[in-house]
A and B are shown apart, each in its own frame.
Chain A
Amino acid sequence: MEFQHSHASHCESGVMSSMLRHLGLPISEAMAFGLSSALSFAYLPIVKINGLPLIAYRMPPKFIIKGLQKPLGLKMRFETFRSPEAGERRLNDLLDAGKLVGMQTSVFWLPYMPEDLRFHFNAHNVLAYGRDTASGDYQLSDPVVETTVTCAPADLRRARFAKGVLAPKGLLYYPEGKPSEPDWARVLPKAIKKTTRIMLDSPIPIIGTRGIRRLANAIERLDAQGNPAAAKMFIGQVVRMQEEIGTGGGGFRFIYAAFLQEAAERLARPALNELSDTLIDIGDDWREFALSTARMIRDREPLNPTKLADKLRAIADREQGFFRDLRRAAA
Protein backbone atom coordinates (compact mmCIF):
# COMPACT_ATOMS: atom_id res chain seq x y z
CA MET A 1 0.00 0.00 0.00
CA GLU A 2 1.24 3.44 -0.93
CA PHE A 3 2.03 5.55 2.13
CA GLN A 4 -0.23 8.54 2.63
CA HIS A 5 1.03 11.62 4.43
CA SER A 6 -1.25 13.80 6.48
CA HIS A 7 -0.69 17.10 8.20
CA ALA A 8 -1.20 17.06 11.96
CA SER A 9 -0.71 19.51 14.76
CA HIS A 10 1.31 17.32 17.11
CA CYS A 11 4.17 15.08 16.04
CA GLU A 12 3.60 11.99 18.18
CA SER A 13 -0.16 11.71 17.71
CA GLY A 14 0.34 12.54 14.02
CA VAL A 15 2.90 9.77 13.57
CA MET A 16 0.67 7.22 15.27
CA SER A 17 -2.40 8.28 13.32
CA SER A 18 -0.51 7.89 10.01
CA MET A 19 1.01 4.60 11.07
CA LEU A 20 -2.31 3.11 12.14
CA ARG A 21 -4.06 4.24 9.00
CA HIS A 22 -1.31 2.60 6.98
CA LEU A 23 -1.99 -0.61 8.91
CA GLY A 24 -5.65 -0.46 7.99
CA LEU A 25 -7.08 1.16 11.11
CA PRO A 26 -8.02 4.73 10.26
CA ILE A 27 -7.80 6.73 13.47
CA SER A 28 -7.71 10.51 13.60
CA GLU A 29 -4.91 12.40 15.25
CA ALA A 30 -7.30 13.63 17.94
CA MET A 31 -8.42 10.05 18.63
CA ALA A 32 -4.80 8.87 18.93
CA PHE A 33 -4.17 11.72 21.36
CA GLY A 34 -7.24 11.19 23.51
CA LEU A 35 -7.26 7.40 23.48
CA SER A 36 -3.74 7.38 24.90
CA SER A 37 -4.75 9.90 27.61
CA ALA A 38 -2.01 12.26 26.48
CA LEU A 39 -3.52 15.51 27.75
CA SER A 40 -1.90 16.91 30.85
CA PHE A 41 -0.24 19.87 32.43
CA ALA A 42 3.16 19.85 34.07
CA TYR A 43 5.37 22.62 35.35
CA LEU A 44 8.87 21.23 35.79
CA PRO A 45 11.12 23.88 37.34
CA ILE A 46 14.01 21.42 37.67
CA VAL A 47 14.24 20.44 34.01
CA LYS A 48 15.88 23.41 32.33
CA ILE A 49 15.90 24.26 28.64
CA ASN A 50 18.37 27.06 28.01
CA GLY A 51 18.01 27.98 31.65
CA LEU A 52 14.21 28.12 31.61
CA PRO A 53 11.82 25.58 33.16
CA LEU A 54 9.99 23.00 31.09
CA ILE A 55 6.24 23.46 30.87
CA ALA A 56 4.30 20.67 29.25
CA TYR A 57 0.67 20.51 28.24
CA ARG A 58 0.80 16.80 27.54
CA MET A 59 2.26 13.61 28.97
CA PRO A 60 5.95 12.80 28.41
CA PRO A 61 7.30 11.61 25.04
CA LYS A 62 6.40 8.06 23.98
CA PHE A 63 3.26 8.19 26.13
CA ILE A 64 0.99 8.18 23.06
CA ILE A 65 2.88 5.39 21.28
CA LYS A 66 2.88 3.24 24.38
CA GLY A 67 -0.63 4.17 25.47
CA LEU A 68 -2.23 3.03 22.20
CA GLN A 69 -0.89 -0.51 22.51
CA LYS A 70 -3.42 -1.81 25.01
CA PRO A 71 -6.67 -0.39 23.64
CA LEU A 72 -5.76 -1.36 20.06
CA GLY A 73 -4.20 -4.74 20.86
CA LEU A 74 -1.04 -3.53 19.17
CA LYS A 75 2.48 -4.48 20.06
CA MET A 76 5.04 -1.74 19.37
CA ARG A 77 8.73 -2.50 19.26
CA PHE A 78 11.18 0.10 20.53
CA GLU A 79 14.87 0.02 19.73
CA THR A 80 17.60 2.37 20.85
CA PHE A 81 21.24 2.20 19.84
CA ARG A 82 24.57 2.86 21.39
CA SER A 83 26.27 3.70 18.10
CA PRO A 84 24.91 5.84 15.26
CA GLU A 85 26.22 3.30 12.72
CA ALA A 86 24.17 0.48 14.22
CA GLY A 87 21.13 2.74 14.39
CA GLU A 88 21.45 3.71 10.76
CA ARG A 89 21.95 0.13 9.61
CA ARG A 90 18.86 -1.00 11.49
CA LEU A 91 16.77 1.78 9.97
CA ASN A 92 17.92 0.81 6.48
CA ASP A 93 17.11 -2.86 7.09
CA LEU A 94 13.63 -2.04 8.34
CA LEU A 95 12.94 0.23 5.39
CA ASP A 96 14.23 -2.42 3.00
CA ALA A 97 11.80 -4.85 4.59
CA GLY A 98 9.02 -2.43 3.66
CA LYS A 99 8.31 -1.27 7.21
CA LEU A 100 7.06 2.12 8.22
CA VAL A 101 9.42 3.29 10.95
CA GLY A 102 8.81 5.91 13.63
CA MET A 103 11.81 7.82 14.95
CA GLN A 104 12.53 10.20 17.76
CA THR A 105 14.71 13.11 16.67
CA SER A 106 16.03 16.48 17.67
CA VAL A 107 14.44 19.40 15.85
CA PHE A 108 17.67 21.35 15.61
CA TRP A 109 19.37 19.08 13.09
CA LEU A 110 16.46 18.64 10.68
CA PRO A 111 17.33 20.84 7.70
CA TYR A 112 13.78 21.09 6.35
CA MET A 113 12.53 22.80 9.53
CA PRO A 114 12.20 26.59 9.47
CA GLU A 115 15.44 28.09 10.76
CA ASP A 116 13.77 30.02 13.56
CA LEU A 117 12.10 26.92 14.98
CA ARG A 118 15.23 24.82 15.14
CA PHE A 119 15.90 24.62 18.85
CA HIS A 120 17.57 21.81 20.76
CA PHE A 121 14.33 20.02 21.43
CA ASN A 122 14.91 16.29 21.38
CA ALA A 123 11.48 14.73 21.51
CA HIS A 124 10.29 15.28 17.97
CA ASN A 125 8.72 12.38 16.08
CA VAL A 126 9.02 11.60 12.40
CA LEU A 127 8.06 8.66 10.19
CA ALA A 128 10.45 7.19 7.63
CA TYR A 129 8.64 5.48 4.79
CA GLY A 130 11.39 4.93 2.24
CA ARG A 131 14.70 5.87 0.75
CA ASP A 132 15.50 7.55 -2.49
CA THR A 133 17.57 5.00 -4.41
CA ALA A 134 19.55 7.58 -6.39
CA SER A 135 20.59 10.00 -3.63
CA GLY A 136 20.26 7.75 -0.59
CA ASP A 137 18.17 10.44 1.12
CA TYR A 138 15.45 9.31 3.50
CA GLN A 139 11.84 9.95 2.61
CA LEU A 140 10.16 11.26 5.71
CA SER A 141 6.66 12.05 6.76
CA ASP A 142 6.91 14.75 9.41
CA PRO A 143 3.36 15.23 10.68
CA VAL A 144 3.83 18.89 11.49
CA VAL A 145 4.96 19.66 7.92
CA GLU A 146 2.36 19.99 5.19
CA THR A 147 3.99 17.63 2.70
CA THR A 148 6.49 14.79 2.80
CA VAL A 149 10.16 15.78 2.96
CA THR A 150 13.56 14.25 2.30
CA CYS A 151 16.55 14.29 4.59
CA ALA A 152 20.19 13.43 3.92
CA PRO A 153 21.57 10.49 5.94
CA ALA A 154 24.18 12.62 7.73
CA ASP A 155 21.54 15.10 8.92
CA LEU A 156 19.17 12.38 10.06
CA ARG A 157 21.97 10.65 11.93
CA ARG A 158 22.70 13.85 13.86
CA ALA A 159 19.04 14.42 14.58
CA ARG A 160 18.56 10.85 15.85
CA PHE A 161 21.66 10.83 18.00
CA ALA A 162 21.46 14.33 19.44
CA LYS A 163 22.32 14.51 23.12
CA GLY A 164 20.95 16.48 26.04
CA VAL A 165 17.57 16.44 27.80
CA LEU A 166 15.38 13.61 26.41
CA ALA A 167 18.18 12.37 24.15
CA PRO A 168 16.57 10.08 21.54
CA LYS A 169 19.48 7.58 21.40
CA GLY A 170 18.44 6.75 17.87
CA LEU A 171 15.03 5.49 18.98
CA LEU A 172 13.13 3.58 16.31
CA TYR A 173 9.66 2.17 16.78
CA TYR A 174 7.36 0.11 14.63
CA PRO A 175 4.37 -2.15 15.10
CA GLU A 176 4.48 -5.91 15.30
CA GLY A 177 1.27 -7.39 14.03
CA LYS A 178 -1.84 -5.45 13.20
CA PRO A 179 -4.06 -3.26 15.35
CA SER A 180 -7.69 -4.23 15.79
CA GLU A 181 -10.83 -2.14 16.07
CA PRO A 182 -11.26 -1.66 19.81
CA ASP A 183 -14.36 -2.07 21.92
CA TRP A 184 -15.04 1.67 22.04
CA ALA A 185 -17.57 1.44 24.88
CA ARG A 186 -14.84 0.04 27.08
CA VAL A 187 -11.66 1.82 25.99
CA LEU A 188 -12.96 5.38 25.63
CA PRO A 189 -14.38 5.85 29.16
CA LYS A 190 -11.23 4.25 30.51
CA ALA A 191 -8.97 6.64 28.60
CA ILE A 192 -11.03 9.67 29.65
CA LYS A 193 -10.99 8.63 33.30
CA LYS A 194 -7.25 8.27 33.18
CA THR A 195 -6.90 11.85 31.93
CA THR A 196 -9.13 13.15 34.73
CA ARG A 197 -6.95 11.29 37.23
CA ILE A 198 -3.81 12.88 35.80
CA MET A 199 -5.33 16.35 35.90
CA LEU A 200 -7.03 16.11 39.30
CA ASP A 201 -5.39 13.51 41.52
CA SER A 202 -1.66 13.86 40.96
CA PRO A 203 0.25 13.35 44.21
CA ILE A 204 2.92 15.75 42.92
CA PRO A 205 1.90 19.43 43.09
CA ILE A 206 3.52 20.30 39.76
CA ILE A 207 1.23 18.11 37.65
CA GLY A 208 -2.38 18.68 36.65
CA THR A 209 -4.46 21.66 37.74
CA ARG A 210 -2.21 22.04 40.79
CA GLY A 211 0.69 22.47 38.40
CA ILE A 212 -1.11 25.38 36.71
CA ARG A 213 -1.45 27.08 40.12
CA ARG A 214 2.17 26.35 40.89
CA LEU A 215 3.17 28.01 37.62
CA ALA A 216 0.92 30.98 38.47
CA ASN A 217 2.79 31.39 41.76
CA ALA A 218 6.14 31.24 39.97
CA ILE A 219 5.02 33.92 37.52
CA GLU A 220 3.76 36.11 40.33
CA ARG A 221 7.19 35.95 41.97
CA LEU A 222 8.93 37.26 38.83
CA ASP A 223 10.72 40.54 39.33
CA ALA A 224 9.03 42.81 36.79
CA GLN A 225 10.76 45.97 38.02
CA GLY A 226 14.25 44.71 38.81
CA ASN A 227 14.76 42.39 35.86
CA PRO A 228 12.02 42.77 33.25
CA ALA A 229 14.07 41.01 30.54
CA ALA A 230 14.35 37.81 32.59
CA ALA A 231 10.66 37.99 33.52
CA LYS A 232 9.75 38.34 29.85
CA MET A 233 11.91 35.36 28.91
CA PHE A 234 10.11 33.26 31.49
CA ILE A 235 6.58 34.14 30.40
CA GLY A 236 7.62 33.88 26.74
CA GLN A 237 8.80 30.33 27.40
CA VAL A 238 5.36 29.41 28.77
CA VAL A 239 3.66 30.63 25.61
CA ARG A 240 6.20 28.92 23.35
CA MET A 241 5.47 25.59 25.01
CA GLN A 242 1.76 26.28 24.73
CA GLU A 243 1.39 27.55 21.19
CA GLU A 244 4.51 27.05 19.15
CA ILE A 245 5.61 23.49 19.82
CA GLY A 246 2.89 21.76 17.78
CA THR A 247 -0.07 21.72 20.13
CA GLY A 248 -2.92 22.50 17.76
CA GLY A 249 -3.51 25.67 19.77
CA GLY A 250 -4.35 26.33 23.41
CA GLY A 251 -1.85 23.81 24.73
CA PHE A 252 -3.60 20.73 23.25
CA ARG A 253 -6.99 21.76 24.71
CA PHE A 254 -8.53 22.04 21.22
CA ILE A 255 -7.24 18.70 20.03
CA TYR A 256 -8.63 17.04 23.16
CA ALA A 257 -11.95 18.78 22.56
CA ALA A 258 -11.93 17.25 19.06
CA PHE A 259 -11.34 13.85 20.66
CA LEU A 260 -14.31 14.38 23.00
CA GLN A 261 -16.55 15.11 20.01
CA GLU A 262 -15.47 11.86 18.39
CA ALA A 263 -15.98 10.01 21.64
CA ALA A 264 -19.47 11.51 21.99
CA GLU A 265 -20.37 10.10 18.61
CA ARG A 266 -18.85 6.66 19.12
CA LEU A 267 -20.47 6.26 22.54
CA ALA A 268 -23.68 8.09 21.64
CA ARG A 269 -23.21 10.29 24.69
CA PRO A 270 -24.16 13.88 23.84
CA ALA A 271 -22.94 15.02 27.27
CA LEU A 272 -19.40 14.70 25.95
CA ASN A 273 -20.25 17.20 23.19
CA GLU A 274 -21.22 19.78 25.78
CA LEU A 275 -18.01 19.12 27.67
CA SER A 276 -16.12 19.55 24.42
CA ASP A 277 -17.70 23.00 24.07
CA THR A 278 -16.52 23.91 27.56
CA LEU A 279 -13.01 22.76 26.77
CA ILE A 280 -12.97 24.86 23.59
CA ASP A 281 -13.81 27.86 25.79
CA ILE A 282 -10.97 26.94 28.13
CA GLY A 283 -8.65 26.65 25.12
CA ASP A 284 -9.72 30.17 24.13
CA ASP A 285 -8.80 31.30 27.66
CA TRP A 286 -5.33 29.85 27.17
CA ARG A 287 -5.07 31.68 23.85
CA GLU A 288 -6.09 34.90 25.57
CA PHE A 289 -3.43 34.33 28.22
CA ALA A 290 -0.90 33.89 25.38
CA LEU A 291 -2.08 37.09 23.73
CA SER A 292 -1.71 39.13 26.94
CA THR A 293 1.72 37.65 27.52
CA ALA A 294 2.90 38.52 24.01
CA ARG A 295 1.58 42.07 24.40
CA MET A 296 3.52 42.45 27.63
CA ILE A 297 6.68 41.11 26.00
CA ARG A 298 6.35 43.77 23.31
CA ASP A 299 5.45 46.47 25.87
CA ARG A 300 2.07 47.03 24.27
CA GLU A 301 0.69 46.73 27.75
CA PRO A 302 2.61 47.12 31.01
CA LEU A 303 4.44 44.01 32.23
CA ASN A 304 2.26 42.73 35.04
CA PRO A 305 3.06 39.21 36.31
CA THR A 306 0.25 39.33 38.86
CA LYS A 307 -2.31 39.85 36.12
CA LEU A 308 -0.96 36.85 34.19
CA ALA A 309 -0.88 34.75 37.37
CA ASP A 310 -4.52 35.60 38.03
CA LYS A 311 -5.47 34.59 34.51
CA LEU A 312 -3.74 31.25 35.05
CA ARG A 313 -5.51 30.72 38.37
CA ALA A 314 -8.84 31.38 36.68
CA ILE A 315 -7.92 28.78 34.05
CA ALA A 316 -6.90 26.32 36.78
CA ASP A 317 -10.28 26.78 38.45
CA ARG A 318 -12.11 26.23 35.18
CA GLU A 319 -10.08 23.15 34.32
CA GLN A 320 -10.66 21.70 37.75
CA GLY A 321 -14.41 22.08 37.32
CA PHE A 322 -14.22 20.76 33.78
CA PHE A 323 -12.30 17.60 34.63
CA ARG A 324 -14.63 16.87 37.55
CA ASP A 325 -17.59 17.08 35.18
CA LEU A 326 -15.73 14.96 32.66
CA ARG A 327 -15.06 12.32 35.30
CA ARG A 328 -18.78 12.15 36.07
CA ALA A 329 -19.68 11.96 32.38
CA ALA A 330 -17.25 9.13 31.71
CA ALA A 331 -18.37 7.03 34.66
Chain B
Amino acid sequence: MLDNEVPQEGNSTLAGHRKAMYARGTDGKLHIVQSAGWEVEEIVTRQAVDDLNRLAEDARQRVIAGQTSALEYHMHKARMDVPLLSQVTGLWQWRIRRHFRPDIFHRLSDELLRCYGEAMGLSIEQLKKVD
Protein backbone atom coordinates (compact mmCIF):
# COMPACT_ATOMS: atom_id res chain seq x y z
CA MET B 1 0.00 0.00 0.00
CA LEU B 2 1.39 3.38 -1.01
CA ASP B 3 0.91 6.65 0.88
CA ASN B 4 -1.62 7.91 -1.61
CA GLU B 5 -3.50 4.62 -1.52
CA VAL B 6 -4.33 4.89 2.17
CA PRO B 7 -8.11 5.18 2.18
CA GLN B 8 -9.53 8.51 3.36
CA GLU B 9 -13.16 7.69 2.86
CA GLY B 10 -14.51 9.16 6.09
CA ASN B 11 -15.69 5.89 7.64
CA SER B 12 -18.72 6.87 9.75
CA THR B 13 -18.12 4.13 12.33
CA LEU B 14 -14.88 5.87 13.35
CA ALA B 15 -16.91 8.92 14.45
CA GLY B 16 -14.24 11.38 13.34
CA HIS B 17 -11.32 9.37 14.72
CA ARG B 18 -8.43 8.58 12.46
CA LYS B 19 -6.46 5.36 12.60
CA ALA B 20 -2.79 4.73 12.04
CA MET B 21 -1.97 2.68 8.96
CA TYR B 22 1.35 1.58 7.52
CA ALA B 23 2.01 2.62 3.96
CA ARG B 24 4.97 3.09 1.65
CA GLY B 25 6.27 6.57 0.92
CA THR B 26 8.03 7.71 -2.24
CA ASP B 27 11.37 6.73 -0.67
CA GLY B 28 10.13 3.11 -0.47
CA LYS B 29 10.04 3.19 3.33
CA LEU B 30 6.99 2.19 5.29
CA HIS B 31 5.67 4.69 7.78
CA ILE B 32 2.51 5.56 9.65
CA VAL B 33 -0.18 7.44 7.74
CA GLN B 34 -3.38 8.59 9.39
CA SER B 35 -6.45 7.17 7.70
CA ALA B 36 -9.94 8.64 7.93
CA GLY B 37 -11.26 5.18 7.19
CA TRP B 38 -11.93 2.64 4.48
CA GLU B 39 -15.36 1.75 3.19
CA VAL B 40 -14.53 -1.93 3.65
CA GLU B 41 -14.06 -1.42 7.40
CA GLU B 42 -17.22 0.58 7.53
CA ILE B 43 -19.18 -2.20 5.82
CA VAL B 44 -18.00 -4.93 8.17
CA THR B 45 -18.32 -2.82 11.32
CA ARG B 46 -21.77 -1.63 10.32
CA GLN B 47 -22.69 -5.25 9.62
CA ALA B 48 -21.78 -6.28 13.18
CA VAL B 49 -23.44 -3.24 14.77
CA ASP B 50 -26.60 -3.65 12.68
CA ASP B 51 -26.82 -7.28 13.67
CA LEU B 52 -26.60 -6.39 17.36
CA ASN B 53 -29.16 -3.61 16.93
CA ARG B 54 -31.45 -6.00 15.10
CA LEU B 55 -31.31 -8.45 18.01
CA ALA B 56 -32.09 -5.64 20.47
CA GLU B 57 -34.97 -4.30 18.38
CA ASP B 58 -36.38 -7.79 17.91
CA ALA B 59 -36.22 -8.35 21.67
CA ARG B 60 -37.87 -4.96 22.28
CA GLN B 61 -40.83 -5.94 20.09
CA ARG B 62 -41.17 -9.21 21.96
CA VAL B 63 -41.04 -7.41 25.31
CA ILE B 64 -43.91 -5.21 24.19
CA ALA B 65 -45.78 -8.31 23.02
CA GLY B 66 -45.16 -9.89 26.43
CA GLN B 67 -43.09 -12.73 24.99
CA THR B 68 -39.81 -12.00 26.72
CA SER B 69 -38.51 -9.93 29.60
CA ALA B 70 -36.74 -6.59 29.49
CA LEU B 71 -33.60 -8.47 30.53
CA GLU B 72 -33.17 -9.96 27.07
CA TYR B 73 -33.56 -6.55 25.46
CA HIS B 74 -30.97 -4.96 27.74
CA MET B 75 -28.58 -7.85 27.22
CA HIS B 76 -28.58 -7.27 23.45
CA LYS B 77 -28.52 -3.52 23.95
CA ALA B 78 -25.32 -3.96 25.97
CA ARG B 79 -23.95 -5.97 22.98
CA MET B 80 -23.82 -9.13 25.06
CA ASP B 81 -25.07 -12.65 24.52
CA VAL B 82 -26.13 -15.29 27.04
CA PRO B 83 -22.69 -16.91 27.43
CA LEU B 84 -21.08 -13.54 28.09
CA LEU B 85 -23.78 -12.38 30.48
CA SER B 86 -23.36 -15.70 32.27
CA GLN B 87 -19.62 -15.11 32.65
CA VAL B 88 -20.12 -11.55 33.85
CA THR B 89 -22.80 -12.34 36.41
CA GLY B 90 -21.64 -15.80 37.42
CA LEU B 91 -25.16 -17.15 36.83
CA TRP B 92 -25.87 -20.32 34.88
CA GLN B 93 -26.95 -19.79 31.27
CA TRP B 94 -30.18 -21.74 31.77
CA ARG B 95 -31.02 -19.51 34.69
CA ILE B 96 -30.55 -16.38 32.61
CA ARG B 97 -32.72 -17.86 29.87
CA ARG B 98 -35.35 -18.63 32.49
CA HIS B 99 -35.25 -14.98 33.52
CA PHE B 100 -36.23 -14.08 29.95
CA ARG B 101 -39.72 -15.32 30.87
CA PRO B 102 -41.70 -12.19 31.81
CA ASP B 103 -43.60 -13.81 34.70
CA ILE B 104 -40.36 -15.01 36.29
CA PHE B 105 -38.51 -11.76 35.60
CA HIS B 106 -41.23 -9.78 37.41
CA ARG B 107 -40.66 -11.82 40.56
CA LEU B 108 -36.86 -11.45 40.63
CA SER B 109 -35.31 -10.26 43.86
CA ASP B 110 -33.66 -6.86 43.99
CA GLU B 111 -30.40 -8.63 44.62
CA LEU B 112 -30.55 -10.50 41.30
CA LEU B 113 -31.70 -7.38 39.48
CA ARG B 114 -28.77 -5.48 40.95
CA CYS B 115 -26.45 -8.22 39.76
CA TYR B 116 -27.79 -7.87 36.19
CA GLY B 117 -27.77 -4.08 36.42
CA GLU B 118 -24.16 -4.15 37.58
CA ALA B 119 -23.19 -6.33 34.64
CA MET B 120 -24.70 -3.98 32.09
CA GLY B 121 -24.14 -0.64 33.79
CA LEU B 122 -27.85 -0.02 34.50
CA SER B 123 -29.92 0.84 37.55
CA ILE B 124 -32.71 -1.52 38.63
CA GLU B 125 -35.32 0.94 37.32
CA GLN B 126 -33.64 1.15 33.92
CA LEU B 127 -33.35 -2.61 33.78
CA LYS B 128 -37.06 -3.14 34.35
CA LYS B 129 -38.29 -1.12 31.41
CA VAL B 130 -37.56 -0.85 27.70
CA ASP B 131 -37.31 2.52 26.00
Contact = CB atoms under 8 A, between A and B. Distances in A.
Interface stretch (B25-33, B61-69, B108-116): B25-33
B45 A290 contact: no
28 contacts: A8-B20, A9-B32, A50-B79, A51-B81, A114-B13, A114-B16, A116-B12, A116-B15, A120-B79, A120-B80, A146-B17, A146-B18, A158-B121, A236-B48, A239-B41, A240-B48, A244-B45, A249-B21, A249-B23, A254-B21, A254-B23, A280-B1, A280-B30, A283-B1, A294-B44, A297-B43, A297-B47, A298-B43
Contacts, number: 127
The contact size tier of chain A is 35 or more
A119 to B, nearest CB: 6
Interface residues on B, range: 35 or more
A29 B21 CA distance: 12
Contacts of B47: 232-233, 236, 297
A212 interface: no
Contacts of B38: 243
Given A50-B81, A164-B87, A233-B51, A294 B43 contact: yes
A301 to B, nearest CB: 13
A292 B34 CA distance: 23
Interface in B1-60: 1, 12-24, 29-32, 34, 38-41, 43-49, 51-52
Q: Which of A7, A9, A248 has the most CB of B within 10 A?
A: A248
Nearest to A239: B44
Interface string A236-274: 110110011010111000110110010000000000000
B22 A249 contact: yes
